[in-house]
Amino acid sequence: MNISDFQLRRWAKALAAVSFAVLGTLILSAQTDLTGYWAFRVKDGGVNFLQLQQTGDAITSVAPAGRGGGPGRGGSLAGTLKDGKLHLVSTFNMPAAGAGRGAAPGAAPAAGRGAAPRATVYDGVVENANRIAVTMTTTGRDPLKGAFERVTREEAYPSRIPPPDLRDVPDNGLARTPPMGWNSWNKFQDVFDDATVRGMADAMASSGMAKAGYTYIVVDEGWTSGRDANGKIIGNGKFPNMKALADYVHSKGLKIGTYSSPGPQSCSGKMGGGYQGSFGHELEDALTFAEWGYDYLKYDWCSAGGVYSPTREDNQGAYQKMGDALLKTGRPMVYSLCQYGSYDVWKWGGKTGGNLWRTTGDIADRWDSMERIGFAQIDIAKYNQVGHWNDPDMLEVGNGGMTADEYRTHMSLWCLLAAPLMAGNDLRTMTEETKSILMNADVIAIDQDREFKPVYRLSQEGKSEVLVRPLSGNAFAVGLFNRGDAPAEIGFRWDALKFDTGLYGFRRLQAQDLWKHEAVPTTGDDFKATVPRHGVVMLRVSVGGGRGF
């Protein structure tokens, strides 16, 4: 067969065209293969790490459990990449009803503080093989603009650094009574700024809270944007000068606290993902906090679950590392452990230098959450030591999700437990009722009582409970709690309180109702009161002085 030059040229051209097309497709698909590790970053917000897998135009996410942020908390994302447009939808497994955020280490992401289930959608436009402009939309929240940026596996999921050998960190001498203050998380999550915190310091000083004993203003999650070129942790646009903020809070006669995590990131709030943690930078960060003048550190496990082994040794070691670092700075800083009570932290939290340790998952501003957490603390109250306290989480008083009776129960219970009292409401806009609960000096005095004897359960009948805490000065605090849904009569025998009655066994009791602010008669064998649903009657009973004793 005679093949003409012409035909040859046509074939060559066709071949070239086909090769070009094949090559083009290859290049295009190479550019748009999103398989790999990505960071979703939001300005002044958090970072969320994702591992994406692309098959054709279908995208799925694989995310190791225990990381901060949406999918990393146990859910996953799935969607498509079509014509350079990315569309991913979250497929969270919602936690059991009543579980708060962080209810269990490594738990699936919760819908939020009692909110309805949420869905998160990421819509993006591919800019190049390493960057996608993305808008994240979460039900009930303002959309967040940010970007997916390609990162290495080690950046997304760093390897474990073996924690130090376990030893006892010396006591820092702080928190001789349970710490009192305010923390941003319960009210604001991570949607707050420097001005909010200054406002809280102003209000703490002017509202009477400082006088009542509240001292620490704690900036919880949401203040960092990462690290500078030298590795130093830095504030974000909402917290441009953490040192100036500390100076301001100090100028009000108060102390200030900050927040970090033993993991690479914190847990994540409303702003797109987790924030910078101290993993691999523990001493450096402690020194920075000291240099800025901080007096308190809340150290929240969060993404540490993704790097450390799930053992008590790794937990204790990771907390000990920061406990040691804080001591090395030479600046007195209260050390607040937050790992939700894993591995019976009350048995070893003090060894890490911890002044307080969370014993539970997160509280929510609802009766069922507060009740479940509060009444589960009684058996471990004996682990409280001077300078080392069980922390059943921060107060919700004043946040609006409970009745005044329920908030009085919350406050009474926390004080009987000798719990840290960290207000979690907006101090700038407190009602008189909220003030009367948070600043009840008689109830606070029970929390801060220096006898440090643990609370115990005197009786329990159905939904009625009587809790007793021995106090200094030959006195007892008695809480009559009605956990039921209807008013109930609750009582106890006066002689159930084992007073030191002196040589002759003579006693004259005095009792004060600490919420009504009035004396109650102590004649007869017992005390009885009708307690409202979810309410409390709280007494301080002492042996009266005077003639004849």
Using CB under 6 A, list all residues that contact ligand GLA.
101-102, 185, 220-221, 266-269, 300, 338, 362
- The CB-of-262 to ligand GLA minimum distance in angstroms stands at 13
Residue closer to ligand GLA, measured from CB, 226 or 231: 226
- Cα torsion 163, 223, 431, 338 to 10°: value is -10
Distance of CA 199 to the CA centre of its chain: 21
Distance of CA 390 to the CA centre of its chain: 14
Residue closer to ligand GLA, measured from CB, 410 or 540: 410
- From residue 91, give the alpha-carbon distance in Å to each of 60, 76, 101: 10, 5, 17
- The CB-of-94 to ligand GLA minimum distance in angstroms stands at 16
Look at residue 543 and give its three-state secondary structure: strand
Catalytic residue among 362, 393, 426, 447: 362
Q: Which of 399, 419, 397 is nearest to 410 (CA)?
A: 397
- The CB-of-305 to ligand GLA minimum distance in angstroms stands at 12
Residue closer to ligand GLA, measured from CB, 392 or 479: 392
Identify whether 442 is a catalytic site residue: no
Distance of CA 405 to the CA centre of its chain: 25
Residue closer to ligand GLA, measured from CB, 342 or 464: 342
- The CB-of-359 to ligand GLA minimum distance in angstroms stands at 11
- From residue 397, give the alpha-carbon distance in Å to each of 3, 125, 250, 333, 370: 92, 44, 25, 26, 10
| 308, 319 Cβ separation under 8 angstroms | no
Catalytic residue among 193, 220, 300, 447: 300
Round to whole Å and give the CA distance between 378 and 365: 21
| 70, 306 Cβ separation under 8 angstroms | no
- The CB-of-274 to ligand GLA minimum distance in angstroms stands at 8
Provide the token pair at 486.
């209807």
- The CB-of-199 to ligand GLA minimum distance in angstroms stands at 20
Residue closer to ligand GLA, measured from CB, 175 or 488: 175
Residue closer to ligand GLA, measured from CB, 220 or 396: 220
Identify whether 391 is a catalytic site residue: no
* 230: number of Cβ within 10 Å: 7
**How many helices and strands (H and E) does the chain possess?**
12, 26
> Mind telling me the catalytic residues?
300, 362
